[in-house]
Structure 1
Amino acid sequence: MVFFRPRHLRRYRKIAEVMARHGFGAIITQLGLGGMLRLPDRIIGRDQEPKTPRSAATHLREALEELGPTFIKMGQIASTRPELLPPTFIEELSKLQDDVPPAPWEQAQMVIETELGVPIEEVFLAFDPTPIASASLAQVYAAMLPDHTHVVVKVQRPNIEKVIETDLAIILDIAQLANERLAWTRPFDPVGLAEEFGIALRSELDYRREGRNADRFRENFADEPYIYIPLVYWELSTERLMVLERIQGIKADNIAAIDAAGYDREDIAMHAARFVIQEILEDGFFHADPHPGNLLIMPGEIIGLMDFGTVGYLDSSDRANLVRLYIAIIQFDVEAIIEQLIRMHIASPSVDQFGLQRDLRRLLRKYYGLPLKEISASDMLVEIQPIIYEFQLKIPSDYWLLLKTLVIMEGVGKRLAPDFDVFEVSGPYVRRFLLKLALPNSWGPSVLRGAAGWFDLFNNFPRQSMRILDRIDRGDMELQVRVPMMTQATKQLNQMANRVILAILVGTLTIALALLIPSLDLSWPWNLPTWLIVVGFILMVTLALWLMWSILRSNRR
């Protein structure tokens, strides 16, 4: 039973009214929130359902935008889960933007000075109160340190943490209601999804995590001269405030400016491709939001990265599985693709393999014979979404972030150098990764762990066996085996056995009595043996007819 939080009733009513106004009043009513609607909203919510899947998706996006930053973030995360929503909803939610008007400078100044513990003038030589960027969770300002170093200051929006915690509590309540009252939501585990979303969103509120991400990228690319990661000024950074070196450059999609600067676009595309391939195949830690605004082309054709809040993780087994899947795809081996998807726990072993093979074969047939550089990752991503939804393929969030990262980088690469072949660049990295998988230092640790487990098993087996035998000898151990439907099956077997025995007995006695009848003296009056044999024969025939009738009746059930 879910109890509404009284202090949040106004927010509950706002959510119910917005969703009803956008045509989702029936769901609001089924959740038990209909009582929070005003009478006009109840009428509108019941009667004005979205007319088509696309209009429903558009209404959902608009409703989330109207409900504010928490719901916008929820929609953005939902757009990375194609197994949960139809493709039209995924496409529409991908359009969600969290650009919002900035909070007043006085409020932002109060947060900055609270985090620094001193007035702004004591830390910065100059500070521009006009934000250079404003999002739902943060605002970004330009400033200068006393040594004349240019920095950006990212500060959490005032009171945003309280707003988000309120919304997260309500979202969890609604998820529990959905689990209780909407049976169709249970396979998706709405409570688990709400908890997972809460963890992800709270982590975005801690800017120390983003700073650590920047440090990790800088360490990973320390030997790469064409990738630049700005410095984090940790002595000025806190959970709600981050001070970062400001880098200057040309946005990666500003082709005219790049050409005017005399930069070689082919070289820049090569640097970008090497960056993406290394972070995915070698590091297993990748920038998951590399849109052109976060990639600046600096003097010397160096790519400067910004915004390290959204990242993805791939461990060694993830990378190995993805490379195997990639090889199966470029070989157009549908059976191998499905086997790999099952091995990766993306597809269930009980998936409709025939249907999945049919749809994958139909998809891959469109690309058969094309050079790899002519295959569009963005087109394939759009075409694969209906298959993911129909067959409930469970794509891990990091995998989906990876797919979207590749699509974004493909767009950047095609703008920079339309004829650039990223597959040619990735070839040596893939071969090196496969060679690494074959070397003992890759599979050796897992083999040693397995061997250690077997050693422990054999080492403990004699002692554990003696303990079990002692318990059996003392009568302290009993074995219980539970088989589903065993009671019913045993009952049916008993009935069958009883009928067989009864049939044998009836048949035997009937035949015996029938053989005795010709030897009887049937002259009237009958003596006692004649009466017994005739009556017994009639009883046996009657019993046989009853047995046949009961068998026929049970077969009809």
Structure 2
Amino acid sequence: MSILPENLERYQKFLSFMLKYWNSDLLNETASNAMEEETARTFKDYEQSPEELVEDLKQMGPTYVKFGQLLSTRPDLLPDRYLEALASLQDDLPTIPFEEVREIVEGELGNKISKAFNFFEEEPLASASIGQVHRAELRSGKTVAVKVQRPGIRKKFMEDLNTLEEMAGLAVKHTEVGKKYGFSDVLGELRRIMLHELDYLREANNLVTLGINLKEYRRLIVPQPIPDYTTSRVLTMEYVKGKKITSISPLKKTENDYTALVDEFIEAYLKQIVSDGFVHADPHPGNVHLLENEKIALIDLGMVAQFSKKMKDYLLRLLLGLSKNDGEEIADNLLNMSEITEHATQKEFRRHISIMVQESSHSTAQDMQTGKLLIQMNRSAAMNGIHLPVEVNILGKILLNMDQIIAFLAPEYDLREAVRRYMNKLLQDKMLNELKPEEIFSVLLDSKKLVENLPDRFDKITDNLAKNEFRIKIDAIDEKRLTDGFQKVANRITLGLIIAAMIVGAAMLMQVPSSFMIFGYPGFAILFFLLAAIVGIYLSYTILFKDE
């Protein structure tokens, strides 16, 4: 690790943060979780509150804000309240001076702002860690939002990441906790996420994809990019006038019934998760705006999640189990998609899941239980030696953010009933889809291949049977371990017989006269007896204290 003068400020900032938390109860519990140790601490024991941790990360800068958001998907490490606070973590940075904005936009678009736009407002609409947004009007008269990346932000992110990776490398090399944490994996994921968010061309493609996927939902808006005015550092998209969904006044909430809007919002997200496999992965209230026409706009698609076909099926079954409050079905699905360690306690895990589901079965939207429930399931899995896939953590974070929005718009809303309704509809659509001519034709093609290959395979089987070469391989036991065990038993028996023979031989030699005497006894007899005694004691020690 090279500590150069220009790096001192970053190291000093990191070390100041670590010194504050190094001996804190929160870090001690986190280390205990990483080391799979038992702890009896409760939330009230922690010196630093979730809100204080969030503020400290904000002070550390945008890289640490993103790191905090990523940690919100690690329920195996942090308590629930901290996960919830980190999941909604947003930074609040000073705005970029307009002269710098002008320089970036003109450099990226290759044209003067005055020539590219009819007007470009100097005061930003919003400011975040990576960039800030300005309202403008194209020469065509179309009003747009222009997202401008902060100057030097890419370099700052990479420098902070390099500092974190150097420190993590030392932790992994010199501490057991560092290895258990999986620091390298967490930072590798952080680097991937940040590189994606820094590329506005990728975000523009995400906007297009999500817009196509959700085009059937009339109450949802996904602002589309303007390709000719978009680069990797400047993103120009349709302007939508609205406000953060949780900033609606209480009077407006009482005057309007948002149930139908919430229905469509939930259905759209369930479609993304279990049908499209392409999800807006950061739906916190700041990224979900209510427009003047009572529609919802989904903005900021720098962070998306993509699920494979197999994972979509797993998540479909998981959500079905949640909608029915069926603890056994949920536990089965979680175990089927997980990596089970050698020391897993599946029975205890099933018991925990059943209790959790039962306790939250009658909750409403204002209780915000769905996201919390998945986080608690993740923690129970970690405690019981079961490694859930990261997609379940991502789903938990998405639902945790959705819970906030639903609880604000419709506090008495029954989310699980809505999930059950949509899942039934989805399954019906899936069955009808499988009856389409192209699907039936695909099944017929697969059947045709099976029929064509059957004669040749059957011929090979009968030929091997005739030659007595037919073999069935069964991996029912660990053959090497079993044979090693038999070998150990045989060796012990043989050694025991040799010891017995030496003792008998020593006794017989006692009767034979000899000039070589030890303690008044024939020397060879005493030597054989002592040798047998030493080997016998060693063998007894090994059997009692060393054998597994």
Classify the TM-score, shorter chain: 0.7 to 0.9
Q: Structure 2 regions of 5+ residues with no counterpart?
A: 25-43, 461-477, 514-521, 543-548
Matched, 1:340 2:325: no
Q: Are the structure 2 counterparts of residues 496 and 269 from structure 1 closer, same or farther at C-alpha, using a change threshold of 3 Å?
A: same
Q: Does 1:318 align with 2:311?
A: yes
Q: Aligned partners of 2:396 and 2:534: how far apart in 1? A: 66
Contact map agreement 1:81 1:395 (CA 8 A) in 2:
no
Are the equivalent residues in 1 in contact too, given 2:375–2:393 (CA < 8 A)? no
Contact 1:372–1:423 (CA<8 Å) still a contact in 2?
no
SS at match of 1:196: helix
The aligned residue for residue 394 of structure 2 is 401
Tell me what 1:503 maps to.
500
1:131 paired to 2:131: no
- Match of 1:34? none
Asked whether the equivalents of residues 228 and 305 of structure 1 are also in contact (C-alpha less than 8 Å), the reply is yes
Q: CA deviation at 1:107?
A: 1.3
- Establish whether residue 364 from structure 1 lines up as the match of residue 357 from structure 2: yes
| Structure 1 residues 386 and 278, CA gap change in structure 2 (3 angstroms) | closer
Q: Please list, as runs of the form range in 1=range in 2, the aligned pairs for 1:18-57 lying within 5 A after superposition.
A: 18-19=16-17, 22-24=20-22, 52-55=45-48
* 2:101 counterpart (96, 108, 111): 108
Q: Contact 2:370/2:403 (CA < 8 Å) preserved in 1? A: yes
Structure 2 match to 1:151: 144
Q: Are residues 1:556 and 2:532 paired?
A: no
Q: What count of residue pairs does the alignment treat as equivalent? A: 495
RMSD: 4.7
- In 2, the alpha carbon distance for the partners of 1:488 and 1:121 equals 83
1:500 partner amino acid: L
354-363 vs 255-264, greater mean Cα deviation: 255-264
Greater Rg by CA = 1
User: What code does the residue aligned with 1:503 have?
Assistant: A
Q: Is residue 2:191 matched to residue 1:187?
A: no
Superposed CA deviations along residues 460-479 of structure 1, whole A, max 9, x for unmatched, are 9999xxxxxxxxxxxxxxxx
| Counterpart for residue 259 of structure 2 | 266
Q: Helix, strand or coil for the counterpart of 2:237?
A: strand
Partner in structure 2 of residue 200 of structure 1? 193
Q: Cα gap change, 1:259/1:275 in structure 2, threshold over 3 Å: closer, same or farther?
A: same
Report the CA distance between 1:494 and its aligned residue: 3.6
Call closer, same or farther: CA 1:504–1:152 in 2, change over 3 Å.
same
Query: Match for 1:162: what amino acid?
Result: K
| TM-score, normalization by structure 1 | 0.74
Paired position in structure 2 for 1:468: none
CA deviation map 1:80-104 (0-9, x unaligned) = 2222334454345346321111121
Q: Which moved more, 1:413-422 or 1:240-249?
A: 413-422
Q: Give, in whole Å, the separation in 2 of the partners of 1:539 and 1:441.
A: 88
Among 78, 83, 89, the residue aligned to 2:76 = 83
CA separation of 1:261 and 1:129: change in aligned 2, threshold 3 A: farther
Question: Which residue identity lines up with residue 61 of structure 2 in the other structure?
Answer: G
Alpha-carbon separation, structure 1, partners of 2:265 and 2:228: 31
Q: CA separation in 1, counterparts of 2:77 and 2:453?
A: 43
Q: Deviations for 1:274-301, whole angstroms, at most 9, x for unmatched residues? A: 2222222322222223334433444654
Deviation at 1:121, TM superposition (A): 0.5
1:163 equivalenced with 2:156 (yes/no)? yes
- Say if 2:117 and 2:139, in contact at 8 Å, map to a contact too: yes
Q: 1:376 to 1:166 in 2, by over 3 A?
A: closer
Point out the more displaced range, 484-493 or 152-161: 484-493
Q: CA deviation at 1:429?
A: 3.0
Match for residue 370 of structure 2? 377
Q: Distance in 2 between matches of 1:146 and 1:154?
A: 18
- Which residue in the other structure is 2:33 paired with? none
Residues 294 and 168 (structure 1), Cα distance of their counterparts in 2 relative to 1, 3 Å cut: closer
Shift of 1:193: 2.0
Letter in 2 for 1:410: D
Equivalent position to 1:14, from 12, 15, 27: 12
The 1:398–1:260 alpha-carbon spacing in structure 2 relative to 1, beyond 3 Å, is: closer
Tell me how far apart the structure 2 counterparts of residues 127 and 413 of structure 1 sit (CA, whole Å). Answer: 35
1:148-196 superposed Cα distances (whole Å, 9 cap, x missing partner): 2111110000111111111122222112111111121212322222222
Superposed CA offset, 1:503-522 (max 9, x none): 369769989x99xxxxxxxx
SS of the equivalent of 1:203 reads helix
> Equivalent residue for 2:36?
none
Query: 2: distance between equivalents of 1:130 and 1:271?
Result: 34
2:470 paired residue number: none
2:271 aligned residue: 278
Is the CA contact (8 Å cut-off) linking 1:348 and 1:393 kept in structure 2? Answer: yes
How many angstroms apart in 2 are the aligned matches of 1:119 and 1:457?
70
How far the C-alpha of 1:71 sits from its partner, in A, is 1.5
Report whether the alignment pairs 1:218 with 2:216.
no
Partner amino acid for 2:117? F
- Deviations along 1:209-262, whole A, 9 cap, x unmatched? 111111011111223322222221010100000001101245534555884997
Shifted more, 403-412 versus 259-268: the winner is: 259-268
SS of the aligned residue for 1:125 comes to: strand
1:244 aligns with 2:237: yes
Question: How far 1:455 sits from its partner (Å)?
Answer: 10
Counterpart for residue 420 of structure 1: 413
Provide, for residues 419-478 of structure 1, a one-character-per-residue CA deviation record: whole Å limited to 9, x for no partner: 433444433431244456778959998999999899999989999xxxxxxxxxxxxxxx
Please name the residue that 1:35 is paired with.
none
- AA in 2 matched with 1:206: D
Do the aligned partners of residues 240 and 456 (structure 1) sit closer, same or farther apart at CA in structure 2, a change above 3 Å counting? Answer: farther
Using the alignment, how far apart are the partners of 1:126 and 1:366 within structure 2? 56
Unaligned stretches of 5+ residues in structure 1: 27-50, 464-480, 515-526, 529-536
Checking the alignment, whether the CA contact within 8 Å between 1:4 and 1:173 is kept in structure 2 is no
Where 2:22 maps in the other structure, the secondary structure is helix
Q: In 2, are the aligned partners of 1:69 and 1:137 still within 8 Å (CA)? A: yes
For 1:15 and 1:95, the matched residues in 2 are separated by 23
Instruction: Please give the per-residue CA displacement for 1:42-94, whole angstroms capped at 9, x wherever unaligned.
Output: xxxxxxxxx95342866654443232111121111112222233445434534
Residues 53, 88 of structure 1: 8 Å contact kept:
no
Q: 3-state DSSP class of the match of 2:75?
A: coil
SS at match of 2:108: helix
| Residue number in structure 2 paired with 1:47 | none
Contact 1:251 1:296 in 2 (8 A): yes
